[in-house]
Amino acid sequence: MSKPSLPSGRTPAEGVREQKRRETHQRIVDAALSLFLANGYQATTLDAIAAKAGISRRTFFSYFKSKDDIVMSVMDAGWASMCADLLKTSPDEQPLDAVRDVMAKQMSRYTTEEMTSLDNLMRSSESLLARKQIFYAEQEQALFATLCEVWRQPERQVALRMVAIICIGAMKLTTQAWGNQSRQRKPMADIFCEALASLKSEV
């Protein structure tokens, strides 16, 4: 079974030490996700992750504090990629449309199998579900800050804050609706776009 992973690739300014740290970070993530999918989240120990990644338990704690941190790092990486794409948007575009397109594009990067794997991981742990709600609140603030970088007029900040609230709310509803599908799953990006379209038709 395939699994979600963090973007890789050395940047031009990256030194040898930074490259080694990034590669070790990625190796831990890959090892952990592989074990989570094979053995289950709760049954996977930190020692097993460290062993599969070829590091010591002490080294593991130089990168992550817990198993939860590994899963959240995958979500953080996806969100960072989305914000980076949004920063490339022309300020001539409408903010809500721009966010819709960028978020839908980000969702489409993952196969249904990868999305299902990550969704199952999140649902398997009460602590992950709790952190997911905190994550949404943090990303609402991050999305608002990113929007303000693209659309810099101070008088637009209230509207931009509303765009951030709407889009994160739509994301939460989309994730829930997507996860509750019992048969062949409609792509998450389609559900997200439909949610925003239905909102537009009501206002």
Please give the domain boundaries of the chain with CATH numbers for all domains.
16-60 (1.10.10.60), 67-202 (1.10.357.10)
> Residue 12 pLDDT > 70, yes or no?
no
CA-based nearest residue to 47, from 67, 21, 27: 67
Statement: the pTM of the whole predicted model exceeds 0.95 = no
For residue range 25-51, what is the model confidence (pLDDT) as tens digits? 999 999 999 999 899 999 999 999 999
Round to the nearest angstrom and report the end-to-end CA distance of the chain: 42
pLDDT tens for each residue of 111-156? 888 888 888 888 889 999 999 999 999 999 999 999 999 999 999 9
Q: For the CA atoms of 179, 180, 183, 184, what is the dihedral angle to 10 degrees?
A: -30
